[in-house]
Amino acid sequence: MENIPYKIYLSESEIPKQWYNVRADMKNKPAPLLNPETLKPMTLEELSGVFCTELAAQELNDTDPYIDIPDEIRDFYKMYRPAPLVRAYCLEKYLDTPAKIYYKFEGNNTSGSHKLNSAIAQAYYAKKQGLKGVTTETGAGQWGTALSMACAYLGLDCKVFMVKCSYEQKPFRREVMRTYGADVTPSPSETTEVGRKILAKHPDTSGSLGCAISEAVEAAVKSERYRYVLGSVLSQVLLHQSIIGLEAKTALDKYGVKPDMIIGCAGGGSNLGGLISPFMGEKLRGEKDYEFVAVEPASCPSFTRGKYAYDFCDTGMVCPLAKMYTLGSGFIPSASHAGGLRYHGMSSVLSQLYDDGLMTARSVTQTEVFEAARQFARIEGILPAPESSHAIRVAIDEAVKCKETGEEKTILFGLTGTGYFDMVAYQRFNDGQMGDYIPTDEDLKAGFEGLPNTNFDRVIEK
Amino acid sequence: MENIPYKIYLSESEIPKQWYNVRADMKNKPAPLLNPETLKPMTLEELSGVFCTELAAQELNDTDPYIDIPDEIRDFYKMYRPAPLVRAYCLEKYLDTPAKIYYKFEGNNTSGSHKLNSAIAQAYYAKKQGLKGVTTETGAGQWGTALSMACAYLGLDCKVFMVKCSYEQKPFRREVMRTYGADVTPSPSETTEVGRKILAKHPDTSGSLGCAISEAVEAAVKSERYRYVLGSVLSQVLLHQSIIGLEAKTALDKYGVKPDMIIGCAGGGSNLGGLISPFMGEKLRGEKDYEFVAVEPASCPSFTRGKYAYDFCDTGMVCPLAKMYTLGSGFIPSASHAGGLRYHGMSSVLSQLYDDGLMTARSVTQTEVFEAARQFARIEGILPAPESSHAIRVAIDEAVKCKETGEEKTILFGLTGTGYFDMVAYQRFNDGQMGDYIPTDEDLKAGFEGLPNTNFDRVIEK
């Protein structure tokens, strides 16, 4: 074996001091968020009603390539970062492949995923602005947990609207958040106007992410001292998550390794965008070439079967409009255990890069994903989150192809987190009771019909 | 702040190449295991019927200070080791203490604890001996999970007898083991003679650790190709766990730091023994002095209220007799959420060291422990296992004392694992429904009456 260790840990001083903003190097900038009433690009002032001012500025900043990471955030990062870059020697040996496989592992923290990287940043700016707290929604619970941890550390209030069925079915995630002091409310709830409206209409509803977003936004905007925060999709989130790719690149550069292919799972795009950003920067600047692969669930295929169009980010239609690959905000993904990937849309940044042909996408079925997850757990020791396992599936498939062709491809993928709170899904798989759900064209058509049909292009200045 | 990072990671080449066997440096050796029929010390041959031969030899070896770690085991260690030594800067700041607090964190692996260090060793020797598999019992599930992971990696069968109430109440632990391919049987079961006997007598029993041990031993000895393995108490386990202390010591030595006090939770003693071993060696050889503190639950106080006597290791009385601090093998600890510490006895090695006045012990109540756990989670980010939190409790108490006295004490404690599968306990605590259970003298008396009353000392050769 080469002189590359199983795990490459950077030193604390090598934790990046700046995030990288890939938008600065994009020729075709991502389309701006639009005010749903005026259909004009959201201004800093408008965004500041919902987000902290500094985060609103980051959301709009598509020119500065580097943005300083405040020392206070770096101190928090030091508690769980640098995250290891792992050489999957055992998996390579097991697959008997000439491919070299690396993964950036973001699961070594209590939130169990990369979400903490942006949670601490968003909480920090809220604290700095003198706010009392933040509001958010959570589905699978990884984002809510991460935000609870960040808020506990900074002494901020944290109000989480948790989709009611998750609240009931994932009581342990809920308890982690409560242990960190968060106020967790099952959504829809009686605490907001939108919640009360929905409950009056559908008293037995088990809730949805779209409804929880609307409640969290309402709870934020009705108080001067709260703002709303979000764990994915937004460009500010991709900015914070660039730390994943920056650390990975530094670690690979140390050993003179250049990945040929970089693979990440894609729901709203926070992990994938963060992982690929610095590599994509090199590609955009014409310095190096890489193959980027987004892996999404076949049950929610926004890249591979969606449309590139302006759409609502939430089902309540209170948030700004974003141009993105989307299945329509009315599209209800069928039950899937990778809750973190069940989003109808996709980051505007990644959508533009995909539309420009700078990256590719594949969709995989749930059972294929869990087969890869179980294999990976047994060989590499880490029990992966269902979301992360989408990337594992494609990494294994590529490594097997290399065995056939003899190609010594270097593969890097993002292992976003652990599956410790996903054992109901593993149980279904272990019991042979897991099915696959692939929407028909008819299913998708219904979602597309819900797309706003205004001609938005007239308002976009490029 | 000093030039000491938040987390000290050794390099891969610094993973110890030998385990340290503290028994070699003990003047008063731990008393030998006795054959319950002959009341004579167990021979290698006798032990080899239950354990792999190489492990039986390690169990009896109280002379060699260092034992080589096979390369295959070191390769496995590289997947999750070196474990970080963490400087608890945030906790120090929060407590406003002049004390310097370090913890060795063993939770960054899927089993969630230090148990994996011995699981891979025991599985490796079983594989090397050409066995088909191993059997064991598990209560809280950490040990069973660790063993399942090690067996999956080596392609060994793994039969786990899981105490029935845990099997039913901790379905997620069970699913992790199944995902790693283990055969998990609720105990008592119809698959063993001892299980059938118990079920005939108590058809509604929810099982006990003692019964599960007896079933696992029976399942092992009735097949030539299986052996029994155990996650704590045994001297071989302490030997494997010495890697915790060796890594911690190397990391501290690098920065010229000498701990004044070393704290560990104590159930059977595997973590505490492993953590303190190399430091205790220095103390035994008269090179340096340290204060060692074992922390045990007030509900199961074997050190602080037990007797130092020969006793059965299991309630079925099929295992060898061990001299140890014990509450009697018939003592049933009342319900406590730190399942890993609910054992009536204590490692013979630690018992001898404690009896010789080389270490001290304290007991703490469950609610005190969870208060410390929650505080630690919010400040240091890691949600600790209830077991580990016993050590956190005392570390915080000591740091607070330092604030009062101004002493700049250096404290090292073992953070053995994470609490991700203990959220039922956290929920009870969050809801204010957790109680404390302290056995009365009357309760203890019943346990002591069950102690074998032979005069064993006559058979011990010193």
Residues A236 and A252: their CA atoms lie apart, in Å, by 25
Confidence of residue A36 (pLDDT cuts 50, 70, 90): confident
Q: Which long-range contacts (CB under 8 A, 24 or more apart) does B41-45 make?
A: B41/B459, B41/B460, B41/B461, B42/B320
pTM: 0.95
CB spacing of A427 vs B171 below 8 angstroms: yes
Compare B344 and A104 and report the one with higher pLDDT.
A104
pLDDT tens sequence across B389-440: 999 999 999 999 999 999 999 999 999 999 999 999 999 999 999 999 899 9
For residue B198, the model assigns a pLDDT of 87
According to DSSP, the residues that pair with B19 across neighbouring strands are B67
Q: Tell me, what's the ipTM?
A: 0.94
Cis peptide before B82 (omega within 30 of 0): yes
Q: Check CB contact of A154 with chain B, cutoff 8 Å.
A: no
Q: Check CB contact of A427 with chain B, cutoff 8 Å.
A: yes
Those residues with Cβ within 8 angstroms of residue B314's Cβ, 6 or more apart along the chain or in another chain: B210, B213, B214, B217, B329
Residues A339 and A388: their CA atoms lie apart, in Å, by 11
Which range has the worst mean pLDDT, A84-88, A245-249, B236-240, B435-439?
Answer: B435-439
Q: Tell me: pLDDT of B197 over 50.
A: yes
pLDDT tens sequence across A330-379: 887 777 777 778 888 999 999 999 999 999 999 999 999 999 999 999 99
Instruction: Indicate the pairing of strand B307-312 with strand B321-326.
Output: antiparallel
pLDDT tens sequence across B309-366: 999 887 777 788 999 999 998 887 777 777 778 888 999 999 999 999 999 999 999 9
Q: Check CB contact of A169 with chain B, cutoff 8 Å.
A: no
- At A100, the amino acid letter reads K
Q: Tell me: pLDDT of B46 over 50.
A: yes
Q: What is the mean pLDDT of chain B?
A: 93
Residue in chain A lying closest to B430 (CA): A179
Helix, strand, or coil (residue A27): coil
The full DSSP string for A110-151 is TT-BTTHHHHHHHHHHHHHTT-SEEEEEESSSHHHHHHHHHH
- Sort out which chain B residues have CB atoms less than 8 A from A172's CB and list them: 172, 420, 423-424
For residue A444, the model assigns a pLDDT of 93
Q: How much is the CA Rg of chain A, to the nearest whole Å?
A: 21
B383, B431, B434: which to substitute to probe chain A, counting the most A Cβ within 10 Å? B383
Q: Check CB contact of B380 with chain A, cutoff 8 Å.
A: yes
pLDDT tens sequence across A160-216: 999 888 888 888 999 999 999 999 999 999 999 989 998 998 898 888 887 898 899
Q: Which one of A9, A374, A381 has the shortest CB-CB distance to B179?
A: A374
Q: Check CB contact of B423 with chain A, cutoff 8 Å.
A: yes
For residue B2, the model assigns a pLDDT of 53
